Amino acid sequence: MLLGGLIGFWRWFNWREHSQDGPIFSAAAHYGVDPALVKAVVWRESCFNPGLTGRAGEIGLMQIIPKAAGKDWTDAEHLGNLNPEHLFDPVTNTLAGTWYLQKLLKRYARTDNPLPYALADYNAGRSNVLKWGHGAAATNSQAFIEQIGFPSTKNYVKSVTQRYEHYRSGFSSK
């Protein structure tokens, strides 16, 4: 009985983990971001649940804040006003989130590895990244990770990076 339950849970989670691959791959291709990275962010932000809402008003797969990242995306893409309800749509949400992630990766392109900076910014905001990025941490990603002042953000960066590596190894065999 217990084994059957575990197998059922594994099948459900495996289905769920791949349930948003279409929108993830499409948004990643559209904005030139590694789909393994987009999938890792979706995993951490919502565990592939497009109907999830956060405490601060974040919506959907990539937990987009409509008045911040959502508005920046629609302005950059000349899409007009964004109805927050549209962010529950996996395609719209992953497009907005991937656009924002690409923007953050470009923002930190002069570092040895933009990923930790971009992920910290995605999670805690630019002002915090600027506080943590002094001295060697301004361009050295390992020093930067050590300087991250919020344990939850440090954990976020590490967990998304680990999941990214996990998904990259799976995608390379396809």
User: What residues are annotated to the active site?
Assistant: 45
Q: How far apart are CA 93 and CA 87, in angstroms?
A: 5
What integer pLDDT is reported at residue 18 of this predicted model? 86
Give the chain's domains with CATH numbers: 2-172 (1.10.530.10)
* CB neighbour class for 3 (10 Å; exposed up to 12, middle 13-18, buried from 19): exposed
What integer pLDDT is reported at residue 17 of this predicted model? 83
What integer pLDDT is reported at residue 15 of this predicted model? 59
| pLDDT tens-place string over residues 116-156 | 999 999 999 999 999 999 999 999 999 999 999 999 999 99
Q: Choose between 23 and 3: higher pLDDT.
A: 23
Q: How far apart are CA 126 and CA 120, in angstroms?
A: 8
What integer pLDDT is reported at residue 155 of this predicted model? 98
Q: How far apart are CA 56 and CA 73, in angstroms?
A: 19
| pLDDT tens-place string over residues 35-77 | 999 999 999 999 999 999 999 999 999 999 998 888 999 999 9
Instruction: Decide if 84 contacts 59 (C-beta within 8 A).
Output: yes
| pLDDT tens-place string over residues 101-117 | 999 999 999 999 999 99
- Global pTM reads 0.90
* CB neighbour class for 158 (10 Å; exposed up to 12, middle 13-18, buried from 19): middle
Instruction: Decide if 24 contacts 42 (C-beta within 8 A).
Output: yes
Instruction: Decide if 15 contacts 25 (C-beta within 8 A).
Output: no
